[in-house]
Amino acid sequence: MNSKLKRSLLALTAVSAVALSACSESGTTASSGSSDSASKIEGLTGTTGQLVAEGASSQQKAMDYFGVQYQANVPGASLAYNPTGSGSGQEQFINGQVMFAGSDSALKDDQAAKAQERCGGAEAWHLPFVIGPVAVAYNVKGIDSLNLSTATVAKIFKGEITKWNADEIKAENEGANLPDTDIKVVYRSDESGTSDNFQKFLKAATGNWDSEGKAFPNTVGAGANGSSGVANEVEATDGAITYVEAGFAQEKGMGIAKLDFGNGPVELNNDSVGKALDGLEFKTEGNNMVVDSTKLFATQTAGAYPLVLTTYEIVCSDYSKAKDAAGTADMVKDFLTVALNSQNDELASLGFVPVSKDSAHGKRLADAIAAIK
């Protein structure tokens, strides 16, 4: 990865004027894990115990970071987050096996009805706490910079383009010395919200994609489990390409393609992600915050990079009606309060876009946390 792109990813704190902005307030970070930060976060109940959650591996790094801050701010409390994928997380939440689920995609209508039953008749809310761009990441000897149109990306993942020196790729990379190497597609083998969103993106951006859902088609390429799994597979395979959260691509030092969404190649960086998020819209009102991803993915604003995951924590709006143990609501509220106060440069260094507490998005999240019973 070139140094400019790496610096851009590390500085990924630009945000939407409407919804997102970098959080640079003093006193919101407890990077050392010290409990000294506890007094800096107001409204914590201090309820101890282990908060059990499961779901999207795309937010694993964020959950690890939030977990450290949670334990530092609430001594005696801890987070046990199992990154098994969005599908598994949703299922475990609906079955009452975990206190909240992490998911890259919203519950479908039938799932939402089941989740409401799990919550004792109370609505289940989607709270988008983890915002992260998805990279089209590659490992090809001799290619240090790569431009790909969304149409070409779709053809690659459908198996319609099979060589790195194919005419379509040559046309988008004039003057580049492209090798006659086979393209090796790597996809998520587990049910994944990242797969769900990537397919929605391909459909919205190109119209040349028919499949949908958390399961990625297994007819082209090879599968790997979880975000870390696809990143490891690409790192080890010359000619490989995948879709993965920027933090994982950054960690492995993989190449990240500049994508052409309709107005020329766009580098994944702070400015391009911020431009895409400027137009962020929600399908829902109130405390259930479901992002209109179709509109986001179809964005063609010049200089915008709209391939962004808005990853949810799915919670019960009223745990008092559910069968969870006493204190669950307080633990969930404490954790989410800490997570909102940990939207900072340290989170950005992991490849995520921090949500400012003072933005419309941040204030809406704070209101939702306060309303959980």
Closest among 27, 22, 30, 79 to 55, alpha carbons compared? 79
Q: Which residues, 6+ apart, have CB-to-CB distance to 58 below 8 Å?
A: 104, 130, 132, 192, 193, 194, 227, 245, 309, 311
Residues in the chain, pLDDT under 50: 1-39
Closest among 300, 227, 220, 214 to 259, alpha carbons compared? 300
88-121 exposure pattern, b = at least 16 Cβ within 10 A, e = fewer: bbbbbbbeeebbbbbbbbbbeeebbebbbebbee
Per-residue pLDDT reduced to its tens digit, 225-254: 999 999 999 999 999 999 999 989 999 999
Question: What is residue 100's three-state secondary structure?
Answer: strand
Domains defined along the chain, listed by start: 12-131+282-291+309-371 (3.40.190.10), 134-274 (3.40.190.10)
The whole-number pLDDT of residue 123 equals 97
List the 147-149 sheet strands across, edge first. Answer: 147-149, 258-260, 265-266
The whole-number pLDDT of residue 30 equals 33
Question: What is residue 176's three-state secondary structure?
Answer: coil
Entry pTM: 0.78
CB 338 within 8 A of CB 131: no
